Chains A and B, each alone.
Chain A
Amino acid sequence: MVALQATIMTLVAIGALAVALTNDLVRLVIVSSAYTLLLVILFVVLQAPDVALSMLVVGTIGYPLVLFVAIRRDRADE
């Protein structure tokens, strides 16, 4: 169990770093969506399935969608 927790926490740390280091906005949305998926797995590993289920859709689909539309709109205005 400890090994599993250590693995997923390391992956989350790498994911967070990837989000911070991504420059391209569109790519950033995809990377942050994947990062949220890692968080979902972390919540499952830490036995919080209720939180994981909400996070699954809000973080990996809802939030990226809103960001995509915002980016698209911002670029159209330029």
Chain B
Amino acid sequence: MSRRARLALFGLAAAGLAALLLWSITGLPKFGDYHGAYGKILNKAAPKERQTSNVVAAVVFDYRGFDTMGEEFILFGAVMGVAMLLRAPREDEAPVPVDSVRSDAVRAFGVSFSGATLVLGLWIVAHGYVTPGGGFQGGVILAAAFLLVWLAGSYRPYRQLTPVPIVDFAEGTGAGAYVVIGLSALLVGDAFLHNLLPYGVAGKLASGGSIPLLNWASGLEVTAAFVLLFNEFLSERAIMIEPKRRPS
């Protein structure tokens, strides 16, 4: 097909798609116009029943806490898969990649933001059931704080900060703790993952019953999973991108 014919075909398809999209956008319900029954029930019930001011956390770690456990193990399994694939063929005595930072701006950015990002991550995990955030969101931010150390210094201090045995242990502990908290409900004769602890007062850190524990367990798991992932990819090769011109 000639270039002209392809462009004509694309133009026709794009115009059709644009028309359909515009048509569907004009038919969308108004912003905030929500008719889901469960959402409305939960918005009313959760703050009173579970004393969480962030209803999302009550849903994720309580009403559908079992689903979240499954999601945690999806991440756990995926990261284990990456580690198994990448660790096996690599020799233990592989030379440490040289990737010292050459730009002062990048170094300054990493130094000034790694600490702040760490605090932000901890804050987002700790307040997950009070304000937007939680174990997953805070966990990825915490992992990013570690990555900023790599950005500020080089591979060596980053690796010293995240030794493999500790990261592996944290990863397993986070995933296992979620199950253990769920099982502990069985001991007192309740259903798996039943919320046991006193609910406290909504809007305070001591609220939500078992939700804070599950929240911290998933925070630990997610942080360790992402640090482990970064570790595997960074040790795969130090990133030194040379500008490479494409043949034009």
Binding site for B on A (CB under 8 A): 1, 5, 23-24, 26, 46-47, 49-50, 53-54, 56-58, 61-62, 65-66, 68-69, 71-73, 75-76
Neighbour of A65 across the interface among B124, B140, B147, CB < 8 A? B147
- Please indicate the chain B residues that have their CB under 8 angstroms from the CB of A58 in the complex: 140
A-B contact pairs, 18 of them (CB 8 A): A24-B246, A49-B133, A50-B133, A53-B138, A53-B140, A53-B141, A62-B144, A62-B226, A62-B229, A65-B234, A65-B239, A68-B241, A69-B236, A69-B237, A72-B237, A72-B239, A72-B240, A76-B237
Q: Given A24-B246, A65-B147 in contact, is the A53-B132 Cβ separation under 8 Å?
A: yes
> Contact: A57 with B239, CB < 8 Å?
no
Residue of A with least CB distance to B240? A72
For chain B residues 127-158, which have a beta carbon within 8 Å of chain A? Answer: 132-134, 136-138, 140-141, 143-144, 147
User: Does the CB pair A73–B236 fall under 8 Å?
Assistant: yes
Verify B137–A50 contact, CB threshold 8 A. Answer: yes
State the majority secondary structure of interface residues on A.
helix
B residues near A (Cβ < 8 Å) are 31-32, 56, 124, 132-134, 136-138, 140-141, 143-144, 147, 226, 229-230, 233-234, 236-237, 239-241, 243-244, 246
* CB-CB nearest in chain B for A68: B239
Please judge, given known A-B contacts A23-B246, A62-B226, whether A56 and B141 are in contact too, CB under 8 Å.
yes
Q: For A47, what are the chain B residues with a Cβ–Cβ distance below 8 Å?
A: 32
A53 nearest in chain B by CB position: B137
Q: Which 3 A-B pairs have the closest CB atoms?
A: A53-B137, A49-B132, A57-B140
A54, B241: Cβ atoms under 8 Å?
no
A62 to chain B, nearest CB (A): 7
With a cutoff of 8 Å between Cβ atoms, the chain B residues found around residue A68 in the complex are 239, 241
Nearest chain B residue, comparing its CB with the CB of A26: B241
- Which chain B residues lie closer than 8 Å to A72 at the CB level? 237, 239-241
Chain A, residue nearest B230 (CB):
A65
Is the CB–CB distance between B140 and A62 below 8 Å?
Answer: yes
A57 touches which one: B32, B132, B144, B244 (CB < 8 A)?
B144
Contacts of B230 in A (CB 8 A): 62, 65
Residue numbers in A under 8 Å from B236 (CB-CB): 69, 73
Given A50-B133, A62-B144, 18 additional A-B pairs, CB 8 A: A24-B246, A49-B132, A49-B133, A53-B138, A54-B136, A61-B144, A61-B147, A62-B226, A62-B230, A65-B147, A68-B239, A68-B241, A69-B234, A69-B237, A72-B239, A72-B240, A73-B236, A76-B237
Of all chain B residues, which has the CB nearest A1? B31
B4: min CB distance to chain A, Å: 20
| Closest chain A residue to B248, Cβ basis | A23
